[in-house]
Amino acid sequence: MGRLEALFLGIIQGLTEFLPVSSSGHLELAKALFGDESLPEESMLFTVVVHFATALATIIVFRHEVTHLIKGLFNFKKKEITRFNLAIIISMIPAAIVGVLFDDILETLFNQQVLLVGCMLLITGVLLIFANNAKTGDKDISYGRAIVIGIAQAIAILPGISRSGATISASILLGMDKTTSARFSFLMVVPLIFGKIAKDILDGAFNVDSIQPMHLILGFGGAFVTGLWACAWMIDIVKRANLNFFALYCFIVGGLAILSTFAFEYDLQIG
């Protein structure tokens, strides 16, 4: 991985994290396009670092809401804030379980699995179509809905399944409106990313010798700067736009990824 490539991958993460098109899927496709030869654990580490950058961008953009929620942790008289905080914590449980139990298996999926990403992007497209055609409700977040949305987030660990697409779609299908769905979706991932970073530090994952610190810094910087810019206006697009447009995009990119895989294998056979 070169420095320019690391910076470009960070920019891709920052631009795609806040759209329902799978930022991790785009990262894996870009790595394959660049011919990145990183080991799976190195590739996974880079992905976690750039996701951490966009999580920080989310905190800055949502700083007033985050501050409001933190205050709610110490003010149990405000039941609405406390319920929202607990819902976020509950939503983390499925993904945390999957991350702890299947961490080694998940690392192998972040190694330019183009066919997998293509197939998962098609599934993301289908989810978005279902969500777009569902009637928008006005239900608040409940503990039961939080666990279902959390399961959707856990499934979205797979590269190609959009985390925001899966969680927003699940929220809408559960009867919540787009504004509440988007707000909950972008806030619920923040503690999960911080938890993943803490786990990797304790496990010594950042001691990978073959990946240069400058690559992580450039990737982090690219994701953080573009994430700040993208988060500020892309969230509004997600709330207002027709999700079918994003579904069509996922179908096109996913289809191209699948076709490229078969074309590559065909070239190997006749070569």
pLDDT of residue 118: 93
- Count the domains in the chain: 1
pLDDT of residue 264: 66
Cα(31)–Cα(43) distance, rounded to whole angstroms? 9
Average pLDDT estimate for 66-94 = 74
Average pLDDT estimate for 255-267 = 81
> Tens digits of per-residue pLDDT, 153-187?
999 888 899 988 899 889 988 988 877 888 888 78
36 has pLDDT over 70 = no
- Assign 76 a pLDDT band (cuts: 50, 70, 90): low
The whole domain housing 102 covers: 3-270
Give the CA dihedral 65, 187, 46, 233, nearest 10 degrees.
Answer: -70
73 has pLDDT over 70 = no
Q: Is the pTM of this model over 0.85?
A: no
- Assign 133 a pLDDT band (cuts: 50, 70, 90): confident
Cα(24)–Cα(48) distance, rounded to whole angstroms? 9
pLDDT of residue 254: 94
CA torsion sign, 118 to 156 to 229 to 226? negative
Lowest mean pLDDT among 9-23, 34-48, 132-146, 184-198: 34-48
| 67 exposure class (CB count in 10 Å sphere: 0-12, 13-18, 19+) | exposed
DSSP the chain: --HHHHHHHHHHHHHHTTTTT-HHHHHHHHHHHHT----HHHHHHHHHHHHHHHHHHHHHHTHHHHHHHHHHHT-TT-HHHHHHHHHHHHHHHHHHHHHHHSHHHHHHHTTT-HHHHHHHHHHHHHHHHHHHHSPP--PPP-HHHHHHHHHHHHHTTSTTS-HHHHHHHHHHHTT--HHHHHHHHHHHHHHHHHHHHHHHHHHTGGG-TTS-HHHHHHHHHHHHHHHHHHHHHHHHHHHHS-HHHHHHHHHHHHHHHHHHHHHHHHHHHH-
Cα(152)–Cα(15) distance, rounded to whole angstroms? 22
pLDDT of residue 258: 93
Cα(157)–Cα(153) distance, rounded to whole angstroms? 7
